[in-house]
Amino acid sequence: MNYNNFKFLSFDCYGTLIDWESGIWNAFQPLIHFNKRDDLTREKVLRNFALLESEQQKKTPSMLYPEILFNVHMQFSKQHDLKSNESLDKEFGDSVKHWPAFPDSADALRILKKNFKLVILSNVNTKGFASSNRWLGVEFDEIYTAEDVGSYKPTLANFDYMFENIEKKYNEKPQSILHVAQSLFHDHVPAKHFDMTTVWIDRQNLDNGGNWGATKVVDNLPKPDVIFKDLISFAEETAKN
């Protein structure tokens, strides 16, 4: 791929830059410990989370992400016969600020910042991303969140919002944007609807039979243009151009 063809890199944040699966799993521990349950494995919890989160976002597209998480925590508790309370539900809802960055994110983003404008297209709220941005080591040129759009990816409106704003501010067409993301469900499916060129940061190793984790399973797999196992490998490859 000739990366010189692109002026912008648009990123999904959670799963690509921020290790949301570890963050989600850690945030469930108070509930699991409170109920003294040893049958709820990481794989089981993340798989259930993926389904609950996507359904809640579809049902209430204007709901802010902390409230989405609050409701997911309550629903998860009921489904698994767990005792919860408002304090535990709220703690989970406010947990994004504790989700860690992947070890390579800051280094990779600093490399990429030298040659591209960096754009966030995220499914969290503005305040939530600001708390995560502290760990990422760069200033993004544009930040578009679900709170700005009023819907959650994979809804096409989120990509339309990005296209419209970049064209308005920079007079650039969607073809100048390279979309970089881990999630096939949230990002590559809608991006390919618009014929975007995409980079798959396959942190879950799905291309080699890995686990879907906290991402909803996609039956008809999209075809990303290039695949990397981590972000630093992608960044180093672009630097060769």
Question: What domain range is 162 assigned to?
Answer: 3-19+100-238
CATH number at residue 68: 1.10.150.750
Note the pLDDT of residue 95: 98
Same domain, 137 and 218: yes
Same domain, 126 and 213: yes
> Which of 12, 19, 89, 187 is flagged as catalytic?
12
How many domains does the chain divide into? 2
Note the pLDDT of residue 32: 98
* Cβ atoms 102, 17 nearer than 8 A: yes
- pLDDT tens track for 206-224: 999 898 999 999 999 999 9
Same domain, 226 and 216: yes
Same domain, 64 and 32: yes
Same domain, 89 and 139: no
Answer yes or no: 141 catalytic: no
Same domain, 149 and 213: yes
Fill in the DSSP letter of residue 186.
I
Domain boundary among 42, 75, 98: 98
- pLDDT under 50: residue ranges of the chain: none
Rounded CA-CA distance 144/158 in Å is 8
Write out the H or E segment, with its range, that includes residue 89.
helix 86-93
Write out the H or E segment, with its range, that includes residue 140.
none
Same domain, 128 and 200: yes
- pLDDT tens track for 163-199: 999 999 999 999 999 999 999 999 999 999 999 999 9
Note the pLDDT of residue 209: 87
3-state secondary structure of 199: strand
Residue 2 is which amino acid? N
